[in-house]
């Protein structure tokens, strides 16, 4: 029953997290696009009223005229729309999922004794410190003298994130390290909204309501953090889907793959932001493609070449099934015996020799190539057993 309840909490939490995340990212991307497409107002009266830019668009059967007041408006409108709860709800649901999956079930998803034998409380504390410390360090950097030099700050951020990615991969399972890296970036993004963007907007509204000219620094700081958020978005989205691809987080150099994919995501976003201005550059998108191709090539498994005078000792299906039964069936069964699962992961059942034979390629990929399974090596599979599975697959798995 515990596994069944956890499955439903996981499903509902992910559903809400996905919906609110789409709403937040959609609004964020739209406003970045809008801000970068603004043109000088055509009417002198608009310029006199403080309109700094405008944009005409057509969508959904109607015409729209969006205007941006650079610093305050002549009079506060009766209805002013704010965009904040999308970000806050995304953080709340993300924190819920982090606590449910990676902290409550830390022994499954977060701790890998082969990486570091952490106790559950210590692992959770380190996870929380990663999220909080990431924001504090980033915020301090933005407020330092380097925060005024975007190119310098970008270099410092890449170096700092590389060190963090490496450190997390030395502490946690690859999957847990990736999720905490993405969770840290997501926390930074929401904290930017809560601590910088929203207070600045409230100050601007308060000044305008009093008939005073808002302090322009609020707009400057909010714009900086909004731009940072848009570059963090694609790396975070990569992390969100990475848990389905053990070839990334299960690799020996998982931390380097994480940084390469994150930088590629940020560069792709740079390309689109530049394209907003009508000045697309091939350098960011080209660099991103080179990085992606580099990762794909670097982590490709090397085919084992068997010489003509070499023979591989054939391993029977019975031997392979015995290993799978001992190390994998606790989760991959019609009714898993492990309390953390109410159904077999990805619907893969490995109870019978026939089922093992049908999943031979997947078993080899997950237990030998990436060594991602058993998850957290909960069942204690040995290197000798992985080697047996390797020989069984390479010799050509048969029903014998």
Q: Return the number of other C-beta atoms located less than 10 Å from residue 69's C-beta.
A: 16
Kindly report each contact of residues 22-29 with a partner whose C-beta sits within 8 Å and lies 24 or more positions away, as own/partner. 23/86, 24/86, 24/87, 24/89, 24/90, 25/233, 25/237, 27/83, 27/86, 28/226, 28/229, 28/230, 28/233, 29/230, 29/233
Distance in angstroms (rounded) separating the CA atoms of residues 74 and 71: 10
Determine if the peptide bond prior to 374 is cis (ω within 30°).
Answer: yes
Kindly report each contact of residues 77-80 with a partner whose C-beta sits within 8 Å and lies 24 or more positions away, as own/partner. 80/205
pLDDT tens, residue order, the chain (400 aa)? 777 898 899 999 999 999 999 999 999 999 999 998 999 998 999 898 889 999 999 998 899 999 999 877 888 888 999 999 999 999 999 999 999 999 999 998 999 998 999 999 999 999 999 999 999 999 999 999 998 898 999 999 999 999 999 999 999 999 999 999 999 999 999 999 999 999 999 998 998 888 888 888 888 898 899 999 999 999 999 999 999 999 999 999 999 999 999 999 999 999 998 888 877 789 999 999 999 999 999 999 876 665 555 566 788 899 999 999 999 999 999 998 888 788 888 889 999 999 999 999 999 999 998 888 888 888 889 999 999 998 898 887 877 7
Residue 277: closest CA among 31, 54, 33, 27? 33
**Model confidence pTM above 0.85:** yes
pLDDT of residue 338: 82
Asked whether the CA dihedral 285, 290, 291, 293 is positive or negative, the reply is positive
pLDDT of residue 307: 59
Residue 329 sits at φ, ψ, to 5 deg, of -70, -15
Distance in angstroms (rounded) separating the CA atoms of residues 318 and 69: 74
Distance in angstroms (rounded) separating the CA atoms of residues 361 and 320: 13
pLDDT of residue 310: 58
């Amino acid at each position: 029953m515990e596994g069944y309840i956890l499955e439903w909490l996981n499903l509902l939490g992910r559903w809400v997290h996905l919906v609110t995340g789409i709403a937040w990212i959609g609004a964020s991307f739209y406003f970045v696009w809008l801000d970068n497409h603004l043109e000088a107002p055509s009417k002198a009266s608009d310029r006199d009223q403080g309109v700094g830019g405008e944009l005409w668009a057509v969508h959904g059967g109607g015409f729209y005229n969006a205007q941006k007041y650079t610093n305050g408006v002549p009079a506060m409108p009766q209805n002013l729309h704010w965009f904040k709860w999308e970000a806050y709800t995304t953080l709340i649901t993300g924190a819920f999922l982090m606590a449910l999956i990676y902290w409550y079930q830390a022994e499954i998803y977060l701790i890998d004794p082969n990486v570091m034998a952490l106790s559950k409380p210590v692992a959770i504390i380190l996870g929380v410190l990663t999220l909080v410390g990431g924001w504090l360090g980033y915020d301090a950097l933005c407020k330092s003298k380097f925060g005024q030099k975007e190119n310098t700050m970008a270099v410092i951020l890449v170096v700092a994130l590389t060190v963090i990615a490496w450190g997390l991969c030395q502490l946690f399972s690859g999957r847990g390290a990736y999720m905490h890296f993405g969770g840290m970036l997501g926390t930074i993004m929401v904290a930017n909204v809560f601590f910088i963007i929203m207070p600045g907007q409230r100050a601007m509204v308060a000044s305008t309501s009093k008939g005073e000219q808002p302090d322009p620094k609020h707009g400057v700081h909010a714009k900086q953090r909004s731009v940072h958020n848009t570059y963090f978005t694609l790396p975070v989205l990569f992390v969100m889907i990475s848990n389905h691809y053990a070839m990334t987080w299960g690799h020996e150099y998982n931390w380097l793959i994480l940084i390469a994919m994150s930088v590629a995501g940020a560069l792709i976003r740079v390309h689109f932001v530049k394209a907003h201005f009508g000045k697309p550059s091939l350098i960011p998108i080209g660099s991103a493609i080179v990085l992606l191709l580099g990762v794909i090539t670097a982590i490709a498994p090397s085919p084992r070449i068997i010489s003509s005078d070499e023979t591989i000792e054939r391993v029977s299906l019975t031997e392979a099934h015995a290993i799978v039964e001992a190390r994998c069936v606790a989760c991959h069964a019609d009714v898993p015996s492990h309390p953390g699962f109410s159904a077999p992961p990805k619907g893969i059942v490995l109870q019978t020799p026939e089922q093992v034979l049908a999943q031979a390629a997947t078993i080899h990929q997950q237990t030998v190539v990436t060594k991602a399974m058993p998850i957290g090596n909960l069942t204690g599979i040995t290197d000798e057993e992985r080697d047996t599975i390797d020989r069984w697959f390479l010799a050509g798995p048969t029903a014998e």
